[in-house]
C-alpha cells in the first residue's frame, strides 16, 4: 500500500492484498472459525474508518466481543492467536 501508514500500523502482516490474505487465512488449520470471524470483523471495522476518512483505531475488546457474540476473555485469546499466526500486527488495547 502506498502512502503514509495508518494509525493501526496495518492489520495485514503482508501487503499483497486483502482478498489473497483473507483466503490464505481461511485455509489455515491453526485458527478457529471464531478467530477467522474476528479477523473479518476487524477488517470491516477498520475499513469503514479508512473509507470515511477517519483516523482508524483498534476497536475495544468489549466492542469486538459483542460483535462476535463471545466474552472479552475469549476475544483476547482469539486476538492472541491472530497475532501469533501473523494475521494482524500492532494490536494495542
The separation between CA 80 and the C-alpha centre of its own chain, rounded to angstroms, equals 11
Per-residue confidence band for 13, with pLDDT thresholds at 50, 70 and 90 = very low
* Residue 58 belongs to a domain: yes
Q: Are 15 and 1 in contact (CB under 8 A)?
A: yes
* Residue 10 belongs to a domain: no
- Write down the pLDDT at residue 26: 82
* Residue 9 belongs to a domain: no
* Residue 89 belongs to a domain: no
Q: pLDDT for 29-82, tens place per residue?
A: 899 999 999 988 888 887 765 556 666 677 889 989 999 999 999 999 999 998
Q: Are 91 and 9 in contact (CB under 8 A)?
A: no
Measured over the CA atoms of residue 83, residue 64, residue 19 and residue 34, the dihedral's sign is positive
What are the Cα distances from residue 14, in Å, to 41, 47, 87?
18, 16, 8
* Residue 3 belongs to a domain: no
Q: What is the DSSP letter of 37?
A: H
- Write down the pLDDT at residue 74: 97
Three-point CA angle 57, 63, 68, nearest 5°: 120
* Residue 11 belongs to a domain: no
Domain limits at 47? 18-84
Tally of structural domains, the chain: 1
- Report the C-alpha gap between 8 and 41 in whole angstroms: 15
Amino acid at each position: 500500500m502506498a502512502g503514509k501508514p495508518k494509525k493501526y500500523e496495518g492489520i495485514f502482516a503482508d501487503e499483497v492484498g486483502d482478498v489473497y490474505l483473507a483466503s490464505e487465512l481461511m485455509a489455515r488449520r491453526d485458527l478457529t472459525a471464531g478467530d477467522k470471524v474476528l479477523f473479518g470483523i476487524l477488517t470491516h471495522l477498520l475499513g469503514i474508518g479508512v473509507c470515511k476518512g477517519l483516523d482508524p483505531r483498534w476497536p475495544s475488546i468489549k466492542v469486538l466481543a459483542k460483535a462476535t457474540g463471545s466474552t472479552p476473555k475469549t476475544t483476547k485469546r482469539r486476538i492472541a492467536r491472530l497475532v501469533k499466526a501473523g494475521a494482524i500486527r500492532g494490536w494495542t488495547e
